Structure 1
């Protein structure tokens, strides 16, 4: 009986995986097919077959005339700079909690990690009021500050988990040789944690790039607003173009995260493996 159940489970596994793949590919197929449709020939409902090859025109309309280009550049700045800063700050915090002889390391761990436990929505009203009073509303600096603060806790969690796998004897030997904690951090721990740092950066790049809630709450200008927020307003700001232009814009804004994962997938997998041991 147990063998029969086991064989049935093994036979059902490929079917389940195939079903998940189909569920993922069907929306992607519809996105691509309808992004190819000329805006003037869109019939008002999704097409399952290719009706034209106007992808370049649709992208040009979304990029230049509808203003996606400025938001794309802003999001690229936010994702790269904020991701790097957040990973560096998280690595310093993880080093302090794991390596430095600070009192109550568990308390500091939970204090920093608690930033991932609360819903982001509870911070929106206070943030909006604070940004309005501090003249940070609708500024790139304002969004960069909140993105770094938002990205640090989860990056800290990943990096701290990997840092606990570094043998403490390395730190003890370096201290005996006269190295300072600053030198130990930059010369020993960071080089040993390249995979974890890379995985944390990919996570934070993707999170910042895909952000919508903070973008529509704390910005409104085209050159400040992140690309996902600009994409949601594309229909309202350029409604005459129709869904093909919006879908073409969605296709374009999905490229950076896809390329990042494809190029660094090996580093990402090594980092995740190291962080979950």
Structure 2
């Protein structure tokens, strides 16, 4: 028995080390090549540091791609659409799990099926409908589409989490005469805060990193999200060089990294409650 446990521990540790290396090697290459001064870049990737020009490369990317306004736009889209999607998802999860609705499984698959379709299938109908409704190249249009595509996965998280909540609390509140509306806001939402924060982080990262809808549904620099701006910087690839592009990529990834570490304890709490 001890030998089996020992071999299992070795296998687990080896797997974790390999996964860490798979993540660390590309990250190392990005950091090393983003730190190479743009004028000293030879055209081939470096495995070891060759000078330090990371901050200069970031400054060039910031100025040439106008990343400041673009990051402000992405912050607006990511926060607004994620909050809207989570509100709709937690309400749908409450209805599908707590309230006495018929065909719960059907409702689950009907909502969650939106996460199973490739996003590319929505591009043409969205572009045509947005052009007809004057939503093309508007912030409202991007907020709506980001919220719509975020609902299915957020619903998946909230519904699975709602199934782990104690039924006795809901039944006791109903016996005491609490309405569904009061039960939702005063009991269900407070109990689901950890899952809501986890879902918010997932959706924020997904919206922040999206480029597909950003380049399809926007054209103006004051509307486009940050990944569309970064793509434009990469479009002028020969004039700025790969170190500047990589420096810009590191710069725009910092908000998502900070958000994840700030919300890390909510992930741990949600995992403890669902065990």
Length-normalised TM-score, structure 2 = 0.92
Cα offsets for 1:177-226 (capped at 9, x unmatched): 23211111110011111111111111111111111222222122222222
Corresponding residue SS for 2:177? coil
Counterpart in 2 of 1:261? 260
Aligned residue in 1 for 2:210: 211
Q: Which residue of 2 aligns with 1:124?
A: 123
Question: What's 2:39 paired with?
Answer: 40
Counterpart position of 1:141: 140
Following the alignment from structure 2 to structure 1, what is the Cα–Cα distance between the partners of residues 141 and 19?
39
CA drift of 1:25 comes to: 1.4
Tell me the residue number matched to 1:26.
25
Change (3 A) 1:13 1:186: closer
Cα 1:11–1:214 change in 2 (3 A) is same
CA RMSD of superposed structures (Å)? 2.1
Calculate the TM-score normalised by the size of structure 1.
0.91
Deviation at 1:116, TM superposition (A): 1.1
Look up the match of 1:250: 249
Q: CA deviation at 1:15?
A: 3.3
TM superposition shift of 1:266 = 1.6
CA contact (8 A) 1:261 1:268 kept: no
Mapping 1:142-221, distance limit 5 Å: 142-221=141-220
Unaligned runs of 5+ in 1: none
**CA–CA distance in structure 1, aligned partners of residues 12 and 163 of structure 2:** 35
Instruction: Give the Å deviation of 1:95.
Output: 0.8
Post-superposition shift, 1:23?
A: 2.4
Distance 1:152 1:242 in 2: 38
Distance 1:175 1:22, change over 3 A: closer
CA distance in 1, matches of 2:44, 2:59: 22
Q: Show structure 2 runs of 5+ residues with no match.
A: none
